[in-house]
Structure 1
Amino acid sequence: MIFLYSRSTTDPLKRPIKAFILSAYYYPYSKSLGKDALALVMSINLGKRKGSYQRLQVGDLMDTTEISVLGRNKSSGVLVRTNYERITLHENCQMISIFATVQLLPNTIKVSMESNGVVTEIPFKIPSYKKRDVVVCISPLYVSEQWQNFLLSAHIYKQFGAHLHVYFISAVASFFQLMHEYEKHVNYTDELCLRTDCIPSELHNNAAMGSCYVSTCNSLIQESAKFITLFDLNDILIPTLAPTLVEEFQILMSGQSHVSYMIYPRQNYEATVYNKTGFSIQSMMNSLVDKNTRQTGRIVINPHKLNYTYINRPLCIPNGLRSMDVTSNFITHLDSVVWENKETAMASLESFNLDNSTDNMYKVFFGDIEEDLKRMLKKQQIAEILGTLPNFYYFYDLVNKCFEEKYYRFINQDTINSVKNDCPGPQMCGFYQHPRIECVHVNATHIFMEPIEPITYYYATEHHYTADIGCYAQ
């Protein structure tokens, strides 16, 4: 037996719509979504409506497109219709990111998207319920060579009680091998991030997918973590109010029951890094030079009060909730990295001066972090990889320049007047391939779909790593 529950009776847009399912999580129970909830994050071609951007700022729905979901357990089924909530803040892309949630049946075993009587079964996952204090979600790595930043993040966040969760598109092969080996030993996981060319080919250069990982990470982790941070790999947050990140967040949130997320400012620094066995976290931190500039902040979420967000803030937050600006600490953003071609690096605590505070918690644990790094680098498999890591940056400057022009300059704008016509995204970046540099890339099996009215749903399966694609940012 199939039951029909309808939360809306509005008609969908009178044009073909293509939706690519980025993630689907079924929650047997959820503090924020309720029992037997399905959370969907999709990229969907709802078109460009520049004149409506101002309405977006106050959370208007923009159209009446409905999403219909069929859930089945062993004995019955239910068809539920719902509207979406948009994630993307701007109106520059044909394909934007959206979030939708519906209540299904207990013990759901099959989920399908329904479109005018035609059903498309989709894969879904059960989210993680493993209890963690803090999960640091790192934005997707594109053509990455930044193994020093990874080692810095992995050991610092481990020391301060956080789990590092990295989203992955592509990286230099030896760096990928290092990350893969680290996953066996430290509090770190990586996640394959869908490429833009998984969506219909005529739309993938007009897709606002750059921050889809944000809501996907939130959906995956929100039932297990007390706090979720949304950072880049070159963002380092060191607690100054307490020995761990969770304690600092709890202090800041104390008595702030209406705060759904906090915004940490980002201070720009230049860092110097060294070759392979000469790498030292101490020396890297001691090398920091304050550039006396700041970037748009990054957020720390209470996942039970916010179901989705854009990379630096949500479009809107539930009634009665608000955000909070943090003034007592900041994120150290490694805005530029200088390569020093030395085999050994001298490290001392004397020159370390991250925030001009003598009681900075990092100094207390500095030795422990460095010893943990040395212990890991002595492991046979990691020591073998260490000798193959890049000793110069080929893609680094190219990636930074293109991302700044095509992506970060756009998403860091705060005003309506700053919005330009281009669809921002790393998929717009192309690079000359180096004959001696091999990259590992994420790939997947793309499922062909016959067009359906009003919405055709697409998805990918069998996600895997491959070295056959090259060094590309999509």
Structure 2
Amino acid sequence: MPYEFIISKKVVSIGCLISTTCLLYFLFVNSLQQLNGSTYSPVRVEHYKRNYDEFIIADPRGSSKVKLNVSHAFITSIYYYPISKSLGSNAVAFNMAIDQRSNQMRNHTFNVIGTNSSTSLFSTATSQAEGVGNCRYTTLMGRINTVENLEKLEIESNGVTVEVPFKMARYSAPKPVIICISPQFVAEQWQIFMMHVNAANRFGGHLHVYLTSIIESYFELMKVYEREGYLTLDYWLRMKLTSTEFPYFDPNSNIEWRNQAGAETDCLLQYKEAAEYIAFFDMDDILFPKNYPTYLEEFNAVLAANPGTNYMFYGRREHEFVKAPTLSEFSFVDLVASLRSSIVVKRGKVVVRPEAYNSTWIHYSKHVTFMTRANVTSPTLVHVQLPVEKNGKRKNKSRDMWKISFGKLKETIREDDIKAIEEDIYRIRNLSSTITLASNLPSSDFYLPIVFKCYYDAFYGPAFDHKPGGFGCPNADFCQLPQRDDYKFFFRINCFSITKTFYNQFNLLRCLKHFCHPIRRSLPDLNLIPIVLSDMPLISSGIPKTSPCLHSISTFSFFFLLLKNLPIMMAEDEKIALLMDNWILDVPREGYEPTRYYTTLVIYVFIFFLVILLYFSMLPDKKLK
């Protein structure tokens, strides 16, 4: 006897109501889960906020010597190398920031499982730390050799494994010389950027620039140069936990200069097999080759003149120049004419053969012998930390704190190079995209004197200018930075920075490790991790199989998965989805307050089911056999 199904308006209404309620409930709860596929367990929103606030230990000056039961580690990136000149075949490199005071991190090891389509291999990773003892957290690079054609990577402890995301290292580079630029923080000095990016391009260098926070118009200017092939933008984000069961110190304020060594190590690991030379500079460190027309020829000549060496150390000489207030007034000819040198040569930076280094500190690697270093006394890096404003009034009083005398330019900058760079700047300046943004570029200093004073009080004064008080962990995270109403910041969390949320945590040899899921968009020529639907958490992920709502939810999962990822897929002109706003990514935020993303999604869901309900309400009740 056939079953009979009665379709009525009341049944349809109740069904739609139940399905909508279940879907929205699990969609919201899913946003509160860690993205590791763990079993669903409802947690109150307030509990997550309480976790973050309750367990973080305030130590803004980084002076605490307290030892915790576990050392928290934040894995910022992992790279896989099918072939590597210095790491070997099927190598994996881990880049992390780790608490070195709670437990000894010298020769730290951890267990890793690599898996391909046919086998798994258990390995013990070794590591080396780069950083200073003044800071609780240090940069740590771990390495293993695993299976070929790696498909899955897990870290293991006491029988518990957690899968971690990895990226393929680059095997091609835009140019043979890559210049890794340390993370830009409340960046507004676009004139220094113009000086550096055009000079580097002239001499055959390609900038890889890390951004933490930057004036929006300045960022748009950088994107113009990126489209022209002069640089690659990358993002060095603040570290934040979703939740934890153990106390921890804030990594952002307890690591040297916002984990600058970690960013430099990340850049090294990216280009290790792609570039012939890698330089680790700040934006205000500009190198003008003295004896040859290109960086490549100059570096080759230096190493050839110093047999047995594989990296170079350049000192940094303090300089000042008069900077133009507007892009239309910016002239490289005028800039060079105003350059003045000091006798002060500070601790320098290195240019390395990639196979010589597996990790690096800010100034050099602490795991490479000085015997293989070629010390270059001339030329020096032109360090232009504090330029002078064009009106001559020097509204920026930073130089009054740290008095340095300047005289005649000591560096060699050839006339034909000056002319070629000036012509290139003229071409860029007259692009339609540049003309559009030019009027929005800042014409005077705002954040530079604030940040410099903060740096001076925290480090420069006691370390170099004989000021009393000593210094702890060199860091500017405690600086009080006022917000600006006249300029928009590209990264909008707190108006000047953006957060990288670390999802997973697990106990590992007295270390608690956290990692961030890769969220960069696809750039095939740059080997970045693509954003694909499989990278995003499914709506139904984490829902128990016995859930009565699972069937009705799965019916609409694909539809809402597209809704979730539509803003990300629309972000084709950006390098990572976070550019659009933190709420796009379905990542937990402090407090987990409802965002406009979920408001929009709820409206979509409501309209979707309202249409269905209206459709069936217009049909007469009928019986189907």
Distance in structure 2 (CA, Å) of the matches to 1:389 and 1:426: 24
What's the offset of the Cα at 1:355? 2.9
* 2:336 equivalent to 1:285: yes
Distance in structure 1 (CA, Å) of the matches to 2:192 and 2:304: 32
* 2:209 equivalent to 1:166: yes
What's the offset of the Cα at 1:384? 0.9
* 2:80 equivalent to 1:26: yes
Which protein is richer in strand relative to its size? 1
Q: Residues 129 and 223 of structure 1 are in contact (CA less than 8 Å); yes or no, is this contact kept in structure 2?
A: yes
1:340-359 residue pairs with structure 2 within 5 A?
A: 340-341=390-391, 354-355=409-410
Distance in structure 1 (CA, Å) of the matches to 2:420 and 2:408: 18
What's the offset of the Cα at 1:167? 0.9
Distance in structure 2 (CA, Å) of the matches to 1:119 and 1:30: 27
Q: CA RMSD in A?
A: 2.8
Cα deviation 1:136-184 (Å, max 9, x = unaligned): 1111100010111111111100000111111110011110111122210
- Choose the corresponding residue for 1:306, options 350, 354, 357: 357
- Choose the corresponding residue for 1:362, options 393, 404, 414: 414
Q: Residues 348 and 363 of structure 2 are in contact (CA less than 8 Å); yes or no, is this contact kept in structure 1?
A: yes
Q: 1:410 to 1:118 in 2, by over 3 A?
A: farther
Q: Residues 79 and 169 of structure 2 are in contact (CA less than 8 Å); yes or no, is this contact kept in structure 1?
A: yes
What's the offset of the Cα at 1:62? 5.5
Partner of 1:383: 435
Distance in structure 2 (CA, Å) of the matches to 1:430 and 1:408: 18
Cα deviation 1:421-444 (Å, max 9, x = unaligned): 622223232311122232122635
Q: Residues 27 and 127 of structure 1 are in contact (CA less than 8 Å); yes or no, is this contact kept in structure 2?
A: yes
- Across the two proteins, how many residue pairs are aligned to each other? 428
What's the offset of the Cα at 1:387? 1.1
Partner of 1:66: 109
Q: 1:400 to 1:153 in 2, by over 3 A?
A: same
Distance in structure 1 (CA, Å) of the matches to 2:464 and 2:262: 16
Partner of 1:57: none
Q: Percent identity?
A: 28
Q: Residues 444 and 464 of structure 1 are in contact (CA less than 8 Å); yes or no, is this contact kept in structure 2?
A: no
Partner of 1:52: none
SS of the residue 2:365 aligns to: coil
Distance in structure 2 (CA, Å) of the matches to 1:292 and 1:321: 27
Q: 1:439 to 1:47 in 2, by over 3 A?
A: same
Q: Residues 71 and 110 of structure 1 are in contact (CA less than 8 Å); yes or no, is this contact kept in structure 2?
A: yes
Q: Residues 407 and 426 of structure 1 are in contact (CA less than 8 Å); yes or no, is this contact kept in structure 2?
A: no
What's the offset of the Cα at 1:224? 1.0
Partner of 2:377: 327
Cα deviation 1:295-319 (Å, max 9, x = unaligned): 111111111111111011221316x
Partner of 1:120: 162
Distance in structure 2 (CA, Å) of the matches to 1:35 and 1:224: 15
SS of the residue 1:224 aligns to: coil
* 2:188 equivalent to 1:145: yes
Cα deviation 1:69-123 (Å, max 9, x = unaligned): 11111111112113321111x2122221111110011000111222222222111
* 2:482 equivalent to 1:440: no
Distance in structure 1 (CA, Å) of the matches to 2:470 and 2:262: 20
Partner of 2:90: 36
Distance in structure 2 (CA, Å) of the matches to 1:296 and 1:238: 18
Q: 1:241 to 1:64 in 2, by over 3 A?
A: closer
User: Which consecutive unaligned segments of at least 5 residues does structure 1 have?
Assistant: 1-12, 50-60, 343-351, 470-474
SS of the residue 1:423 aligns to: coil
Which protein is richer in helix relative to its size? 2
SS of the residue 1:70 aligns to: strand
SS of the residue 1:304 aligns to: helix
Deviates more, 1:106-115 or 1:423-432: 423-432
Partner of 1:423: 473
Distance in structure 2 (CA, Å) of the matches to 1:189 and 1:39: 22
Moved over 6 A (4+): 409-413
Q: Residues 171 and 271 of structure 2 are in contact (CA less than 8 Å); yes or no, is this contact kept in structure 1?
A: yes
Distance in structure 2 (CA, Å) of the matches to 1:120 and 1:265: 44
What's the offset of the Cα at 1:325? 1.2
What's the offset of the Cα at 1:365? 1.7
Partner of 1:95: 137
What's the offset of the Cα at 1:203? 2.6
SS of the residue 2:490 aligns to: strand
SS of the residue 1:368 aligns to: helix
Q: 1:143 to 1:198 in 2, by over 3 A?
A: farther
Q: 1:444 to 1:119 in 2, by over 3 A?
A: farther
Deviates more, 1:258-267 or 1:62-71: 62-71
Q: Residues 111 and 156 of structure 2 are in contact (CA less than 8 Å); yes or no, is this contact kept in structure 1?
A: yes
* 2:249 equivalent to 1:202: yes
Distance in structure 2 (CA, Å) of the matches to 1:164 and 1:63: 33
Partner of 2:236: 193
Q: Residues 174 and 389 of structure 1 are in contact (CA less than 8 Å); yes or no, is this contact kept in structure 2?
A: yes
Q: Which TM-score applies when normalising by structure 1?
A: 0.83
Distance in structure 2 (CA, Å) of the matches to 1:146 and 1:246: 28
Q: Residues 96 and 139 of structure 2 are in contact (CA less than 8 Å); yes or no, is this contact kept in structure 1?
A: yes
Q: 1:412 to 1:229 in 2, by over 3 A?
A: farther
What's the offset of the Cα at 1:14? 10
Distance in structure 2 (CA, Å) of the matches to 1:100 and 1:331: 31
SS of the residue 1:439 aligns to: coil
What's the offset of the Cα at 1:464? 4.2
Distance in structure 2 (CA, Å) of the matches to 1:375 and 1:30: 39
Q: Residues 443 and 466 of structure 1 are in contact (CA less than 8 Å); yes or no, is this contact kept in structure 2?
A: no
- Choose the corresponding residue for 2:126, options 64, 77, 83: 83
The AA in structure 1 aligned to 2:225 is Y
Deviates more, 1:287-296 or 1:170-179: 287-296
Q: Residues 16 and 455 of structure 1 are in contact (CA less than 8 Å); yes or no, is this contact kept in structure 2?
A: yes
Distance in structure 2 (CA, Å) of the matches to 1:420 and 1:102: 39
Deviates more, 1:202-211 or 1:271-280: 202-211
Cα deviation 1:209-234 (Å, max 9, x = unaligned): 23211111110111111111111111
Q: 1:373 to 1:198 in 2, by over 3 A?
A: farther
- Choose the corresponding residue for 2:423, options 359, 371, 374: 371
Distance in structure 1 (CA, Å) of the matches to 2:293 and 2:386: 28
Deviates more, 1:186-195 or 1:369-378: 186-195
The AA in structure 1 aligned to 2:503 is F
What's the offset of the Cα at 1:249? 0.7
Distance in structure 2 (CA, Å) of the matches to 1:97 and 1:77: 29
Q: Which TM-score applies when normalising by structure 2?
A: 0.64
Deviates more, 1:441-450 or 1:65-74: 441-450
Deviates more, 1:204-213 or 1:443-452: 443-452
Q: Residues 239 and 502 of structure 2 are in contact (CA less than 8 Å); yes or no, is this contact kept in structure 1?
A: no
Partner of 1:10: none
Partner of 2:444: 392
Distance in structure 1 (CA, Å) of the matches to 2:462 and 2:277: 27
Deviates more, 1:90-99 or 1:133-142: 90-99
Q: 1:198 to 1:176 in 2, by over 3 A?
A: farther
